[in-house]
Structure 1
Amino acid sequence: MNRAPMTKKGAERLRKELDRLKSEERPRIIEAIAEARAHGDLKENAEYHAAREQQSFIEGRINELEAALSTAQVIDTSTLNAGNKIVFGAIVDLEDEDSGDEVTYQIVGDLEADIKQNLIAVTSPIARALIGRLEGDSIEFEAPRGVKNYEIIGVRYE
């Protein structure tokens, strides 16, 4: 079995989401379905159908999270000692060689990736370009808007 890597923080965040779905969202949807069912004819009951659709989505997400957490290889990134070499879990400070803009990313597992929080998937093009590199190296990779060039200005693990 292929165990997908996941950071300890990411696993905790996904467990919280799973707990919330099971303890808050699932009971709320069951109640909404029961209430909509009480309104009579289910064929033309939009509330009932919307609640059933939402229930299906929530149950799917619960299954996805349970499966991912049960097979994940959880890695405590604070114990990694890779120095200034980039491996899974690294927090990397980059400078765009074209614009001079600086950005910081952490390389995480696919399921915990969230670009809004600067968490990039280990399978993403930028992460693949970064893995194995050292502080001071330059990388080039194909981004959705064309080729990007970054200098690695910092590497740390927390």
Structure 2
Amino acid sequence: MTSTRSVWLTPEAAQRLRTELADLVAAGTTRTRDDPAARGRREERVREIRELLATAVVGQDPPDDGVAEPGMVLTVRYDDVDDTETFLLGMRAAEHGGIEVYSPESPLGAAIAGARPGDRRTYRAPGGRTIGVTLLDAVPYGRAQR
């Protein structure tokens, strides 16, 4: 990771990352015979987690203004199948419990960011198909969990 843009994390996700970091650092200080590739992957993951935690906004809900942005739980309707889905717009690298997470950089996340309820957006799925989606609701993660 080379970005210094802040990311939004739940407190639980931030704690899981801190635990993973501690485990990785402890594994690096033991005198095991690590192959160079495994050591390189571990060191890269340590750098990635440190950067994530250094730039993270942890558990601070965005404004409750209905705008789709990181930290909001969004409900969307897929226009072509008239089906709905609810998910957290946040960092996929850290699990957020039982709710599906879409990154703001994902095709759907990038398309829906900034939308307000009733706004229709389109995005290109990885297979190349264009998908229409309408934002039905956007509430801060903390409010959605209550």
- Specify the TM-score bucket, using the shorter chain as the normaliser: 0.7 to 0.9
- Whole-angstrom distance in 2 between the partners of 1:75 and 1:6: 6
Letter in 2 for 1:14: L
For 1:143, the equivalent position in structure 2 comes to 125
Per the normalisation by structure 1, the TM-score is 0.69
1:14 correspondence with 2:11: no
Of all paired residues, the percent bearing the same amino acid is: 18
- Whole-angstrom distance in 2 between the partners of 1:153 and 1:53: 46
1:125 correspondence with 2:107: yes
What number of residue pairs does the alignment pair up? Answer: 136
Letter in 2 for 1:150: V
Q: Which has the larger radius of gyration?
A: 1
- Whole-angstrom distance in 1 between the partners of 2:39 and 2:4: 30
For 2:38, the equivalent position in structure 1 comes to 54
Query: Relative to 1, partners in 2 of residues 1:67 and 1:86: Cα closer, same or farther, differing over 3 Å?
Result: closer
Unaligned stretches of 5+ in structure 2? none
Per the normalisation by structure 2, the TM-score is 0.74
Unaligned stretches of 5+ in structure 1? 34-47
- Whole-angstrom distance in 2 between the partners of 1:8 and 1:113: 9
RMSD: 2.8
Q: Is the 8 A contact 1:5 1:73 kept in 2?
A: yes
Instruction: Quote the offset at 1:20 in angstroms.
Output: 2.2
- Whole-angstrom distance in 2 between the partners of 1:61 and 1:73: 16
